[in-house]
Amino acid sequence: MSTWISETAVARLRMMVRAGLLLVCLPLAACLDVAGEAGPDNALRAVAFYDGKVIVTGPRGYCIDRSSVKRGPAGRFALLASCESLTDQPGISVEPAVLTVAVLPHAPSAEQPSSEAMAEALGRGSVRDTEDGDGIALVHIAQGGDTVLPGGDPSYWRASMVINGHLVGLAAYGPKDGAIAGTGGRDLLRDLAETLRAASPAPDSVSRDVTEIDIQGGTGGLFRGLFPVSN
């Protein structure tokens, strides 16, 4: 079982990430609350936002922290970590990481920003590398990850994409000197983006009124808003 993200670390993360959400989505900066200890009920397989137009689910081995899911007029938010760390039960071994997904309201003008545009908005002094992929733009940030994630590496990754007219911001944080701080974070965000795109309905398809799917299988401004210059 993953030991890097302990119950105490997860609880601390939920507090520390309040400020760190400004690095992901300004309107959602205070959306995380401290919750209880790890357990099966804390993990979700998937959550649907905006009447099912955007379905958030993690790559294999990663689950959604139920207590992190927030819905508000400014947008939606979910935090993911290894299913092992969220359930405190043995499972699929994956790289220890914390992933965030921020989804802004639908906008007809929503377009995929380039990694260069992201770098400009973030400030080039903090950007290590940029990359544009198939429907995703990625930026490697040199510093700040350890202020969001206790015990984490300063270096972390951000990405942006568009799903059904919703601008989506992704971020990946990992332990100091771990794989996620390097190319592993880029690869994990690519996997997350593909998983989100595959789970979400095709454009113009019928909305699904799904809200949450738990670990047991039961039901349960735009660009600058995602990546504010001031942070």
Domain ranges of the chain: 43-200
pLDDT in the model for residue 212? 55
Q: Exposed e or buried b for every residue in 114-151, given b needs 16+ CB within 10 A?
A: ebebbbebbeeeebeebeeeeebbbbbbeebbbebbee
Instruction: Tell whether the model's pLDDT for residue 214 goes beyond 70.
Output: no
**pLDDT of 123 higher than 60:** yes
Does the global pTM surpass 0.85? no
Mean pLDDT of the chain: 77
pLDDT class of 57 with cuts at 50, 70, 90: very high
- CA gap 59, 94 in Å, rounded: 10
**pLDDT tens-digit profile of 134-178?**
899 999 999 989 888 888 999 999 999 999 999 999 999 999 999
Fold of 43-200: Protein Transport Mog1p; Chain A (3.40.1000)
Cα-based angle 75, 80, 81 (whole degrees, multiple of 5): 160
